[in-house]
Amino acid sequence: MRAMLLSALVVSVNGAVVAAPDDKKTERELFKASWERLAANRPVDMGQISDQLADYPLLPYLHYRDLRNRLSDASASEVQGFLDAHDLPVNRFLRNAWLRQKAAERDWKGFIAAYEPEQTNTTLECHYLEAQAQTAGLDTHWVRDARALWTVGHSQPDACDPVFDRLYERGILRGDDAWARIEKAMDNDQVGLAGFVARRLLSDEERALFRSWERLHSDPTRLLDGTGVDLSHPRGGDILAAGLRRLGVRDPDKAWQALDRHARAGHLKAEQVHDLRRHVALRAAYSHRDTAWGYLEQLERPAVNKEVRLWRARVALGRQDWQGLEGAIADLPAELREQDKWRYWAARADLAQGQLHGANEAFSRLADTRSYYGFLAADHALDGYAMPADARQPASSEREREALAARTGVARAHEFFRLGMWPEARREWQAQLSGATAEEREAAAELAHDWGWHDRAIFTAHHAGLHHDVALRFPTPFRDQVEHHARQAGLDPAFVFAIIRKESAFMTDARSHAGALGLMQVMPGTGREVARRQGRPLGSTYSLLDPDTSLRIGTAYLAEMMDRYEGNAVLAAAAYNAGPRHVDRWLEASGDAPADVWVERITFRETRGYVKDVLAWTSIFSWQLGREPVRVATQMRGGTHFASLDR
């Protein structure tokens, strides 16, 4: 590698990188070497580089990186000249860095000259207000914008302190402003912030009222015996309602009891009672309380909204109250009632109640849909799965794709992709598709697929509405490696592909907010434990970003989950996503339910969707691998955990 690099590049005494013969490979190597030098804040002769990469689409990025490095010495005209000359997604980073520098220098005129009003960065918004105050003074627009930044339920950045001090010093903020922010802070559980505002702006009498709210917030069960709130004060009823809402989150059953008592005592307005009863009933439903159905059914018409109707159906389903489910589905708004999910469950309710003819007809109609519920319906109707019958025809022409690829921004995205600079590539791709037409998105999805950039093809196809294009949405990259590691672990490769597709969409550099890494999104701790059991310890956490390592560790862990749950794909997929501890608890709560009902009772929304997608996608990937689709019902039957689907 060193010899190859030296044959393509020469580093001069002053640090300039000089290109060897001009070809695409050499241009990429020269760009990458220059980028790495600039990223390390090392000197590069930008004059020479500009000559040697004059036609290379990523040259502006080197100028960007160079300008960022010496921003403290740059002039306003140079910065603005770059921003005007280059339409790059990273321009906002440069502008923001320049604005922060101007604010640090207290160059308020320079700040205003470079500021764009569409900013969504709170620090810069506050700097802008301070710049206005310093250069032009305060007007009604300034007061309006400053008050809006102050009236939030969380602390703002330190840059906002001078702006807020002006509001305090001029007496602009009054009691109503204080209560508006206190309410938002308490809703956000920011009691300390609410207390600060109360001490700063409220009268002694109102501070006493706020302290009663603090006590209720800390222990809302006080409402079971009394109120502890001065209900003669105009805000007393609102504070009582806030306490009941908080009790509803902690203990819906106690909240229902307390609410009933306070409603009968006339402590609340009728509108508040309806709102609170809906809140408590829904909280009971969210936590799968046995009392939820009764609460939802007791709600009077003013308290019933779309969410209540939806949760009546969900709770009836979880209870396997088929008659109640039938009525709840009939009461859903049409746009929900016609979704695949509720079409399936309406048919299941008919089946459970012995209405076989109607159920089979409904299942047969739904079986034409390529989805989790469509596949389940096909299993009931003994129909085939809705897989493409003909060879795929691209939605766009070759000419359209060539025209798209020739666009400057798309060419930049492609170059970053070729260089393996994934974040930069995705940023450019996203910028180029912002505001694109449906036809342009179709062409972009197919272009990314042609390049082998599968994650962009998948996401772009989805946004383009190409939901039926199986080849675009369910590719099989890394096939040899996936099949090898699946065989080693005793797993169906289609199941592994479905897990990868759901976890990372084939992004080898995928990183989750929780810290999971790589194709199969393995958590570092899990990866180390599995590797240790294999007798092949991980060299480092980041080795999980290597596709082969991710597949080796991920398939081994998935196989452990399959063994733990007797080969049941439903439970193994749920455990891979949420962890076996949660799955064991869900099994204890409703393990005797049919598998399709059990999936709907999974507490975590993410895991419910995850399991449904993995089961359906396993069927699709088995077809993509040249086999008959694995039936969803077959995947649900592994082990001895679930009752029959037909129960």
Q: Which residues are catalytic?
A: 503
Q: How far lies 639's CA from each of 530, 566, 600, 631, in Å?
A: 24, 5, 19, 16
The amino acid that residue 390 corresponds to is: D
- 3-state secondary structure at position 516: coil
389 burial via Cβ count (<10 Å: 0-12, 13-18, 19+) = exposed
d(CA 255, CA 245): 8
E strands, 85-130, in order: none
* Alpha carbon 408 to chain centroid, angstroms: 30
d(CA 402, CA 489): 42
d(CA 83, CA 80): 5
The 10 Å CB-count burial string (b at 16+, else e) for 261-300 is ebbeeebbeeebbbbbbbbbbbbbbeebbeebbebbeebe
- DSSP H or E segment with residue 120: none
Tokens 């969504």 sit at which residue? 120
Q: Which long-range contacts (CB under 8 A, 24 or more apart) does 196-203 make?
A: 200/168, 201/173, 201/174, 201/175, 201/177, 202/175, 202/178, 203/175
- 3-state secondary structure at position 632: helix
Contact (Cβ atoms closer than 8 angstroms) between residue 373 and residue 344: yes
* Alpha carbon 137 to chain centroid, angstroms: 42
d(CA 546, CA 549): 5
Who contacts 611 (Cβ-Cβ below 8 Å, separation ≥6)? 570, 573, 574, 577, 599, 602
The 10 Å CB-count burial string (b at 16+, else e) for 502-515 is bbbbbbbbbeeeee
Going by the DSSP 8-state scheme, the letter that residue 596 receives in this structure is H
Q: How far lies 182's CA from each of 179, 268, 549, in Å?
A: 5, 21, 51
The amino acid that residue 428 corresponds to is: E
Contact (Cβ atoms closer than 8 angstroms) between residue 411 and residue 57: yes
d(CA 223, CA 220): 6
- 3-state secondary structure at position 173: coil
The amino acid that residue 17 corresponds to is: V
| DSSP state string for 269-325 | -HHHHHHHHHHHHHHHHHTT-TTHHHHHHH--GGG--HHHHHHHHHHHHHHT-HHHH
Contact (Cβ atoms closer than 8 angstroms) between residue 613 and residue 372: yes
d(CA 85, CA 79): 10
E strands, 433-533, in order: none
Who contacts 635 (Cβ-Cβ below 8 Å, separation ≥6)? 495, 568, 569, 570, 615, 618
Tell me the longest C-alpha to C-alpha distance in the chain.
Answer: 89
